[in-house]
């Protein structure tokens, strides 16, 4: 089996598992970028999504200024193609992390690339909460923080798990794109050591590994979404 694999995928074997070009290193880099960009982008997206729901015209704290400001920021960043965003904010990335290449530098555009998508997903999820439950909480004297955590986030937790899963899957795709400009990870392996060198076996294995990561995320996300669903309690 080992000799067959080495014969069919010689360039894959040549890269090895460890080292700067190793497959293990690439997988870890992809997971690293996905995790931290998901954390930072998730926090930003959650904040913007909540603000958009609270400050809309029929929200519990309507505020035209803050709604329009957050809405425009989210819309602008969503409209910029990620590959252009990478180049556009390169000077900002340089100021923040001191470099424009590598996995550390990739965290900045990845965060800004995923947060607007997640913000819209959060907005839709929270808007699906039964407004009657919000009114009931208000009638009982609940504070805005009570409503956010005990009503909005609690009632929409299953849907939030689903949209979080979609966002992480999208983020894995963005890490692969970031790899095209030297950010590391499986995307960098597929482009630099596969496509650019006409090593189709490397490109194939990198693609398969990305698909496996996405499948694992989907399974985990579906599990938690079903677990948190009120109907399954």
Q: Is 3 inside a domain boundary? A: no
Query: Per the structure, how many domains does the chain have?
Result: 1
Q: 30: domain CATH number?
A: 1.10.3720.10
Alpha helices (runs of H) in 128-199, residue ranges in sequence order: 131-139, 144-146, 153-155, 157-179, 185-188
Q: Is 228 inside a domain boundary? A: yes
What percentage of the chain's residues is helix, strand, coil (to nearest 5)?
80, 0, 20
| Rounded Cα–Cα distance for residues 41 and 62 (Å) | 25
Domain that holds residue 41: 9-232
Evaluate the CA torsion angle 200, 33, 76, 166 in order and state its sign: positive
DSSP 79-143: HS-HHHHHHHTHHHHHHHHS-SSSHHHHHHHHHHHHHHHHHHHHHHHHHTS-HHHHHHHHHTT--
Q: Hey, what are 94's tokens?
A: 């340089």
Full-model pTM: 0.87
Q: Is 4 inside a domain boundary? A: no
pLDDT in tens, 50-87: 999 999 988 889 999 999 999 999 999 999 888 888 88
Rounded (10°) CA dihedral 109, 115, 116, 119:
180
Per residue of the chain (233 residues), give pLDDT as tens: 567 777 777 777 777 787 777 888 889 999 999 999 999 999 999 999 999 999 998 888 999 999 999 999 999 999 988 888 888 888 888 888 877 777 888 888 899 999 999 999 999 999 988 888 888 888 888 888 988 888 898 888 999 999 999 999 999 988 888 876 677 888 888 888 887 778 888 889 889 999 999 999 999 999 988 888 855 45
| Rounded Cα–Cα distance for residues 55 and 70 (Å) | 10
């Amino acid at each position: 089996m080992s000799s067959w694999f080495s014969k069919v995928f010689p360039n894959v074997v040549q890269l090895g598992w460890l080292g700067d070009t190793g497959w293990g290193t690439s997988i870890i880099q992809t997971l690293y970028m996905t995790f931290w960009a998901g954390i930072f982008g998730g926090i930003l997206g959650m904040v913007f999504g909540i603000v958009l729901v609270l400050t809309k015209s029929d929200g519990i704290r309507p505020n035209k200024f803050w709604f329009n400001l957050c809405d425009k920021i989210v819309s602008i960043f969503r409209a910029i193609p990620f590959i252009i965003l990478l180049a556009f904010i390169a000077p900002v990335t340089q100021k923040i992390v001191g470099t424009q290449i590598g996995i550390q530098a990739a965290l900045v555009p990845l965060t800004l690339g995923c947060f607007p998508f997640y913000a819209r997903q959060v907005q839709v999820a929270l808007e699906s909460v039964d407004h009657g439950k919000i009114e009931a909480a208000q009638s009982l004297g609940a504070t805005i923080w009570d409503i956010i955590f005990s009503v909005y986030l609690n009632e929409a937790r299953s849907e939030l798990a689903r949209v979080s899963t979609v966002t992480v899957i999208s983020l894995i795709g963005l890490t692969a794109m970031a790899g095209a400009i030297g950010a590391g990870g499986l995307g960098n392996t597929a482009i630099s050591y596969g496509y650019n060198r006409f090593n189709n076996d490397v490109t194939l294995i990198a693609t398969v590994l990305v698909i496996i990561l996405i499948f694992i995320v989907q399974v985990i996300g579906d599990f938690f979404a079903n677990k948190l669903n009120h109907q399954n309690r």
